Amino acid sequence: MSTPPFQLNPQQLEAVHYLGGPLFVLAGAGSGKTRVITEKIAHLIREVGYAPHNIAAITFTNKAAAEMQERTAAMLGSRQTRGLTVCTFHSLGMRLLREEAQHIGYKKNFSVFDGSDSGKIIAELLGSSGRDAVFRAQHKISLWKNDLLTPEQAFQVASNEWERQTAQLYAGYQETLHSYQAVDFDDLILLPTRLLQNEAGIRIKWQMRLLHLLVDECQDTNTCQYTLMKLLTGAEGRFTAVGDDDQSIYAWRGANMENLRLLQQDYPALKIIKLEQNYRSSARILRVANQVIANNPKLFPKTLWSQYGEGEPVRIIACQNEQHEAEYAAGSIIRRRNQSGGSLNYADFAILYRSNHQARLFEEALRSAHIPYRVSGGQSFFEKAEIKDILAYLRLLANPDDDPAFLRAATTPKRGIGDATLSSLNRYAAATSCSLYAAANTAEALAQLPAAGREALRQFTALMQSYQSRAQSEPAGSLIQELLADIRYETYLLEHEEGKSGEIKWRNVQDLCAWLARKGEQDGKTLIELSQTIALMNLLDSRSKEETDTVTLSTLHASKGLEYPHVILAGCEEGLFPHADSVEEGNLDEERRLMYVGITRAKHSLTLTHCVKRRRQGGWQFPEPSRFIDEMPQADLKILGRKGGEPIVSHEEGKANLRSMLDMLNAKMGQGK
């Protein structure tokens, strides 16, 4: 059961009705926090009389926002929720920035650069395309932005020469972004926050507009997000913040759990309401979770409890090696489904792990067992840099006013259109309120460019105009292949990528082309029509509906907020989980919170696996089981596969599995008669 029954419990009810000042709802895992937020929105509109446009609910993912929007609309009806804001921090920041852009020297239709776009700028400024160097600089700049630091302030706090150089790079990076009339992901929160700090009139305007702010997953806010929340809600603190210090697992991307402590300091009248009743897991699973997390220091002590009965023991499985671990996971899913008599779906199972690299062997084992699966938390096909390069051309064909697409297509592969040319083009576009593509086709704008840049631009726009006219009628498959040949994209990849990376990326591009050709033929769509929808797609969209019943493979970080009847938590070994780097850096508390998140994803059964030996760096290592297993209440565990212990599959289970498989075989033979 994923949501509370219709009747709210006393603590949930108190949280919904409380309007006496700032409120923090300490919401344990599975305690119905989304229900509380949606019920409070409904209460504010129906009972208190707030207009929907005076309320905003902030989440951390688009998925969570969509779910909340859906639930609220089902409760109130779409008419009563018209004007209600339910979105991510970044979406709210974008809305504010678009409305107030002129105050910080931006046009309303500024471009938003993704990680690969901003990575290219940083690579140019560094004079290096080395992936590690670009990533390090990019990550550091992101953390500075999350901490509300300007390039000057970053330089002041820099602790070594690399940080001082990166702070100078940060300054050049921001100047380049502004000349492009572009912002990056972090700017969507940083720029509105600075604007509200510096402009009292704009701050008051937005405070009067948003009379109540509801913030989900407050423990995951960074300094910048927390400051934005404070600025929007004013000194009175007209907010309901919901969070759980035990589920703070994103410090590596700037989340600051200290914000929960600051809440109490910044708002002395803060009301705290604890939600401790869990509506998800069995009592045993909760006891295991509670005892593990009890080893961490507490901001807000709490104990989760459940009315769902004891449940089965948590299984601890010692596997011979990582191959055996993957095969065991696949086999256990088959066994449990067989034993359920058809009541369990594949979607009822999840395999969770600490690091992305662990997924490969599980994928192989599931494929071998003909078990459908999906990988969550990995990179989507349409997020790959080479795919985004080609999609930029398609987006530009469909919409010449798409500035980010223009910038990416015009500079990938390189064709002599450099920063000076683009800066001049940007200035003209900003002054005349036109798109970059329109500026590139304007004699006045071209006259301001150096001869080499002018000629390169002319060739590029002529190429795009040629394909725009042809894309209306010619077959999508052959046309995209011709475009790739014209821009020499294969050569570009093979010359600029290290090792076999270029070949792999080219294969991905060919897969995209095959998909476009197939869809074009099947649906009778032109390249223009396909390009108008493809940006909304991801790899899973291409799967048939029959494949939606799939086992989930996911990193622990990506599993947060989700739940599954049956969970296998893999790789519970020292060095892997807790991760060796985290132990070395003194981040054991966060690793323990990550274990807590993993445990509390499970509803009915939880299995933890570890390997007796594991291959690393060409040799065998013999890791100890995770220290977190020793922290669990031993009475609630069933330990299998260890030397001198019970076998992984008991004699009784073996006989039951055999009976189940024979029954299935007989049933199939009966159907064939």
Return the active site residues: 33-34, 216-217, 247, 601
The residue to which tokens 């821009």 are assigned: 487
Give the separation between CA 94 and CA 91, rounded to whole angstroms.
5
Give the separation between CA 305 and CA 279, rounded to whole angstroms.
9
Q: Cα-flanking dihedrals φ and ψ of residue 433, to 5°?
A: 55, 45
Nearest CA among 303, 299, 302 for reference residue 245: 299
Amino acid letter, residue 121: I
And the tokens for 495? 């010359």
Nearest CA among 502, 532, 504 for reference residue 519: 532
Give the separation between CA 25 and CA 255, rounded to whole angstroms.
18
Neighbours of 621 (CB within 10 A): 13
Sheet order of strands, 212-215 included: 85-88, 55-59, 212-215, 239-243, 23-27, 271-275
**Is 321 exposed, middle or buried, given 0-12, 13-18 or 19+ CB atoms closer than 10 A?**
middle
* Local structure of residue 186 (DSSP, 8 states): T
Provide the Cα torsion 357, 360, 363, 364; round to 10°: -160
Neighbours of 154 (CB within 10 A): 23
Neighbours of 177 (CB within 10 A): 20
Give the separation between CA 491 and CA 484, rounded to whole angstroms.
10
Give the separation between CA 302 and CA 31, rounded to whole angstroms.
12
And the tokens for 623? 């890791």
CB 52 within 8 A of CB 81: yes
Nearest CA among 581, 601, 591, 600 for reference residue 628: 591
Neighbours of 342 (CB within 10 A): 8
Beta bridge mates, 567: 350, 606
Amino acid letter, residue 324: H
CB 526 within 8 A of CB 325: no
User: By three-state DSSP, how is residue 305 classified?
Assistant: strand
**Is 313 exposed, middle or buried, given 0-12, 13-18 or 19+ CB atoms closer than 10 A?**
middle
Give the separation between CA 614 and CA 621, rounded to whole angstroms.
5
Give the separation between CA 147 and CA 364, rounded to whole angstroms.
42
Q: What is the DSSP string of 141-169?
A: HHHHHHTT--HHHHHHH--SHHHHHHHHH
CB 343 within 8 A of CB 542: no
